Structure 1
Amino acid sequence: MDLIDVCPESAEVTLTDFRAYQTVILDPEGDAQIDPNWVVLNQGMEIVQTMNSDPGLAVGYTAFNGVDFEGTFHVNTVTDDDYAGFIFGYQDSSSFYVVMWKQTEQTYWQSVPFRAMAQPALQLKAVKSRTGPGEFLRNALWHSGDTAGEVTLLWKDPRNVGWKDKTSYRWQLSHRPQVGYIRVRLYEGMDLVADSGVVTDTTMRGGRLGVFCFSQENIIWSNLRYRCNDTVPEDFKTHRKQFLHIQTNS
């Protein structure tokens, strides 16, 4: 039935389900940390990552054009202060968007191949890595900023605050790759705690969805929901008008 079908126009996609997923290890070399361990629950609508691990992804196999993707994430421990997040527009292990959040500021302990500094703010990054999974991409993901040839920081929450232990946050992502529209909102309970506003980027023209962890154990992503949606949001039209107005006046 279209009422409960997340993609009425696609015969292949009917319900949110991550039971079939691919593990992507983003730092496969060396033994800095172990690989992530994913547990999928609730008929594919909940994912748990149990280990203090190298950076990694659990990626669903369904590819999307325009999509709305939402879920709740919760770090179910008071141990550690590292990265949790989600991905979209996944093309391959060198090309995807990631929304990631760290609890505290920290310099990465492996200073080779370069010094990487993490800030606690919620971040939206476009990953387009020349080197692919390995130490360059690992440090570039940790770093809160641009790394030439690896990662571009598209937006960072100016409040620069980290996530809280044992606290549930709900994210809502809208991605319309046909026009390059991205918007991320994050809620704690009913309160909106972060909003990227309209971000425009066309690096990845759609792709697969999944979750992201880096050196943080006991992360729960629950009530995962995706829905095909190619409708261009109203705020994009306003954003375009303002942008064109600035261009014509400059």
Structure 2
Amino acid sequence: MQRSNLQILGLYGLTLSVSLITACGDPCLDDGRGKAGAVCDPGNADTNTETGTGTETDTQTSNTETAEGDGDETWCADEDMDGFGDPDSCQEVPAGETPPPGSVPQEQATDCDDVDPNTFPGAAELDDPLACMTDADDDGYGDDMPSNPNAVPGTDCDDNNDHAFPGAAENEDPSACMEDKDEDGWGDANPGGGATPGSDCADDDATIMSCDKWCQDMDMDMFGNPEVCVFVAPGGEVPAGYVQDDTDCLDTDPNAFPGAAELDDPDACMLDADGDGWGDSDTPPGVMMGRDCDDTDVTRVVCVDAIPGCVDTTQGLEAQLMSMASGGDGNYVYAWTPVETLNDPAIPNPTAIPDAITTYTINVTDGSMNMGSDEITVHLTDKPWILDGPGAECEEIEFLAEPDVPPVHSFSNGGTTVCTTSNSDPSAYVCPTVHQQSRITGTMVVNTASDDDMIGFVWGWQSASQFYLFQWKQLPQPWFGCMGSAGMTIKKFDATDVYVLDDFACDNDTANQTVLMTPDETTTSGWIDNREYGVELLYDLTQTEITITDLSDNSVVANFVVMDDSYPNGKFGTYDFSQEQACNGPWQSNCL
């Protein structure tokens, strides 16, 4: 959009008389578009600064008065000859003397870039008629990224193209900075510079105006990638795999599109991998964050973290329980169980005074009935577990469906110690607490000099089919069709069939169990008659460290680490097999 000097002068209120002087061809008249190399008469330059209806007579009178009595005048260099001088390059001119060539009076020294004739106050009169901007393409809009930092940024997105300026494509967007070469009012779909793309796919043909926008739909979710689009003229061929949509925020995942998480936000572009209607709360760039705390599990929208996962206390003292919920609509209702030993089961952070080792469960429900849960175990470090008898906490397990010698046990120390009374088939007493990252301690002893078989314990108990087994044999012997080795053996049970004695007696793998560690890897020493042993398990998520100590002199009999994470949490219990007077307990636990 080229403009005449007459149009520019009109913006500054110059009268027709000034325009006529320009028409007479005076090369020095300051019309806002000064000519390089011109040597100007100071009378003309002074006349050019007038914005009213001044005449030649007025100018002559002014010059006469200045020469006769107003003293020196300040004139400033106008290197780029745009009619505006450099305020930092001025000099005093004595009254009556001729100013230096290419200079302007001090009041016109407002140029912010005196080496560029396209930069001066009012250059971009459609942006701001007073601001010092750059308008290289003479379209009336200032460069939005001028090269000189002193120039005020304008709104022209491509100041080298007079077809690109705000409102160029007025039919498409009256305010956007678009390019419209064919001047049909629709913006070029592939403009140069920094212009905003329009919808005119043939901007050199005024007969083709708005074209249809088609965007790539790589993940075939019917929503297109706004970064990969083409414009197709009416009747043109649409590329394969393109759709008339540009709102996909992640076009590599069919689970991410506007409205994917309709329960979370029916309009937002979210990722909902599990299809539960709630958006993933941990999203890649460009995807709006949702409120699903676990987008891999359709049953988990609300997540709860019981803090800490384990608490130690003693009988009669309070234990602080805490919980934090995330996900869902945020309107949470808290419910702790069991409620009997809590001060308030309906708050996030109650206190507990348990009378036995207790695992508390926290259930959190939001206003949309999404529920999450977690657990926290409170250990009583001064109270052993009651294996049997009044107040018993633990359950007897007989492994064989039809035992030849059913186990018979006696109890002492208030039910915290169990002893076999016969040479029986394998059995256990499993206690109800699910341990995770716990330290478990207790004692074992064989109170007889007869027989030489098994004493031990189970841990990581998931069920009678899945658990870890520690067993300790006094002497080697052939039995049940195999060799029973002296020392400590670690097994992992994952039973798929009914148990037989070989599963427990033999040191090799069977269909129901795998030997994790043999006596050669632990100790080949057997237990000693009537000798009490201390046991410590450090039960962690990926390993268990076991230490067996001879309590007669506190010497370490064995210390080893079982490296297996098949059962990162589970119950604990005693174990015995074919050994009379094998005694287990007391046992207790605390946090690891």
Q: CA deviation at 1:30?
A: 5.2
Secondary structure at the aligned position of 2:432 is classed as strand
Distance of 1:207 and 1:130 partners within structure 2 = 19
Secondary structure at the aligned position of 1:62 is classed as coil
Aligned to 2:448: 77
Q: For residue 416 of structure 2, what is the amino acid of its counterpart? A: M
Q: CA deviation at 1:77?
A: 0.6
Distance of 2:524 and 2:580 partners within structure 1 = 22
Aligned to 2:583: 220
TM-score (norm 1): 0.78
Distance 1:2 1:164, change over 3 A: closer
Q: For residue 20 of structure 1, what is the amino acid of its counterpart? A: E
More displaced, 14-23 or 62-71? 14-23
Secondary structure at the aligned position of 1:224 is classed as strand
Distance 1:30 1:183, change over 3 A: closer
Distance of 1:191 and 1:183 partners within structure 2 = 17
Q: CA deviation at 1:213?
A: 0.7
Distance of 1:117 and 1:61 partners within structure 2 = 34
Do the aligned residues in 2 keep the contact of 1:108 with 1:139 (CA within 8 Å)?
Answer: no
Aligned to 2:564: 201
Distance of 1:125 and 1:7 partners within structure 2 = 39
Distance 1:169 1:7, change over 3 A: farther
Distance of 2:548 and 2:465 partners within structure 1 = 26
Do the aligned residues in 2 keep the contact of 1:116 with 1:140 (CA within 8 Å)?
Answer: no
Do the aligned residues in 1 keep the contact of 2:548 with 2:557 (CA within 8 Å)?
Answer: yes
Aligned to 2:34: none
Distance 1:38 1:182, change over 3 A: same
Distance 1:195 1:156, change over 3 A: farther
Write out per-residue CA displacement over residues 108-147 of structure 1, whole angstroms, 9 at most, x where no aligned residue. Answer: 24xxxxx332101112211111114x21xx2121112322
Do the aligned residues in 1 keep the contact of 2:453 with 2:578 (CA within 8 Å)?
Answer: yes
Aligned to 1:122: 488
Task: Point out the structure with max Rg over C-alpha.
Answer: 2
Do the aligned residues in 2 keep the contact of 1:145 with 1:153 (CA within 8 Å)?
Answer: yes
Relative contact order, higher structure (CA 8 A, sep 6+): 1
Q: For residue 141 of structure 1, what is the amino acid of its counterpart? A: F
Aligned to 1:106: 477
Q: Between Structure 1 and Structure 2, which shows a larger proportion of strand residues? A: 1
TM-score (norm 2): 0.34
Distance 1:75 1:62, change over 3 A: same
More displaced, 198-207 or 41-50? 41-50
Q: For residue 384 of structure 2, what is the amino acid of its counterpart? A: T
Q: CA deviation at 1:156?
A: 2.9
Q: CA deviation at 1:170?
A: 1.0
Secondary structure at the aligned position of 1:64 is classed as coil
Aligned to 1:47: 418
Do the aligned residues in 2 keep the contact of 1:64 with 1:228 (CA within 8 Å)?
Answer: no
More displaced, 39-48 or 208-217? 39-48
Pairing partner for 2:465 from 94, 106, 117: 94
Q: Which runs of 4+ in 1 moved over 4 A?
A: 5-11
Give me the CA root mean square deviation: 2.4
Q: CA deviation at 1:47?
A: 1.8
Distance 1:2 1:169, change over 3 A: closer
Secondary structure at the aligned position of 2:433 is classed as strand
In structure 1, runs of 5+ residues without a counterpart are 110-114, 230-250
Do the aligned residues in 2 keep the contact of 1:45 with 1:225 (CA within 8 Å)?
Answer: no
Q: CA deviation at 1:2?
A: 4.8
Distance of 1:82 and 1:192 partners within structure 2 = 21
